[in-house]
């Protein structure tokens, strides 16, 4: 059966991040994608110029209406922005209880613009994160969640992953996917940890500025793949490999003059011959 997935996130008009990127990634990986709009943004590859929130009651209506009719096998949560929105999403998912929830704790855009209010961080940490199957913070986001400075080495990432997993109340069915893209050097090592197994996933850094929406794409890929395998490790490695290839072929798109998007359909779209 083809998995039916849901992204709850904001809209990036340029299509590189947010629900548009999520729908592309989920579709490319064999899932039927649904979307609930949690925020509107004005942005492009160069930066963010505005955010317009969506009324929390209408977000709840979107979620309830969808779940009342459509089977949802996995949910990816992205940019929510405000404490009332996080609360209503958390309450709604606690009611509907989807099997897989992938939480991308979006706090800062690629441009450096803040996307999550400070007052909302505790709400995410206390109500939404404990329900999640897997969280996918980058190093700055992980630092905010555990109230420590961001890790600067792979060794320090081990300690960060352990502290993050304690937010799951030591549940070994929950996973931390800690992204190491902010580390210096030629390698980007991610960690996968469930309180028992610590798995390093290294990769060579790709020399490109086209990294807009990488976090959105990874978490959406995980939501698409988790229902298709009984092994979260297999799903994580496949999601990372998909993203790696999407970054490697991002130059084929030529979108915008800033941080361009990754190539979500790299395995389907063939470069035009000259």
Catalytic residues: 179, 211, 213-216
Q: CA-to-CA distance for 178 and 145, rounded, in angstroms? A: 12
| Distance between start and end Cα atoms, the chain | 40
Sign of the dihedral defined by the CA atoms of residues 141, 110, 208, 149, in that order: negative
Q: CA-to-CA distance for 107 and 121, rounded, in angstroms? A: 9
Q: Where are the beta strands (DSSP E) in the chain?
A: 4-11, 32-43, 48-53, 74-77, 100-103, 134-135, 175-178, 190-193, 198-201
Query: What three-state secondary structure class fits 142?
Result: helix
The closest of 142, 172, 139, 164 to 153, measured between CA atoms, is: 139
Q: Which residue has the tokens 């441009």?
A: 111
Distance of CA 235 to the CA centre of its chain: 14
Q: CA-to-CA distance for 125 and 134, rounded, in angstroms? A: 13
Question: What are the backbone dihedrals phi and psi of residue 108, each rounded to the nearest 5 degrees, phi first?
Answer: -135, 130
State the CB neighbour count (10 A cutoff) for residue 20: 22
Query: What three-state secondary structure class fits 115?
Result: coil
Residue 37 and residue 19 in contact, taking contact as beta carbons nearer than 8 Å: yes
């Amino acid at each position: 059966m083809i998995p039916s997935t849901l992204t709850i996130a904001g809209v990036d008009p340029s299509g590189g991040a947010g629900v548009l990127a999520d729908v592309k990634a989920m579709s490319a990986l064999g899932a039927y994608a649904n979307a609930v709009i949690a925020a509107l943004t004005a942005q492009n590859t160069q930066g963010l110029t505005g955010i317009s929130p969506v009324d929390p009651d209408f977000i709840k209506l979107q979620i309830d209406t969808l779940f009342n009719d459509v089977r949802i096998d996995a949910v990816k949560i992205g940019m929510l922005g405000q404490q009332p929105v996080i609360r209503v999403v958390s309450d709604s998912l606690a009611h509907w209880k989807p099997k897989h929830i992938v939480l991308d704790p979006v706090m800062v855009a690629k441009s450096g613009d803040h996307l999550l209010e400070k007052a909302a961080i505790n709400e995410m940490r206390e109500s939404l994160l404990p329900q999640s199957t897997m969280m996918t913070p980058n190093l700055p986001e992980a630092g905010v969640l555990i109230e420590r400075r961001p890790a600067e080495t792979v060794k320090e990432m081990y300690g960060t992953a352990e502290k993050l997993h304690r937010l799951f109340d030591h549940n070994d069915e929950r996973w931390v996917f800690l992204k190491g893209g902010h580390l210096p050097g030629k390698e980007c090592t991610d960690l996968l940890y469930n309180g028992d197994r610590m798995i390093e996933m290294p990769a060579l850094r790709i020399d490109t500025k086209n990294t807009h929406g990488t976090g959105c794409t990874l978490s959406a890929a995980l939501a698409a793949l988790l229902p298709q395998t009984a092994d979260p490790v297999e799903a994580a490695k496949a999601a990372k490999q998909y993203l790696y290839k999407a970054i490697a072929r991002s130059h084929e798109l030529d979108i915008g003059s800033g941080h361009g998007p990754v190539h979500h359909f790299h395995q389907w779209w063939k470069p035009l011959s000259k």
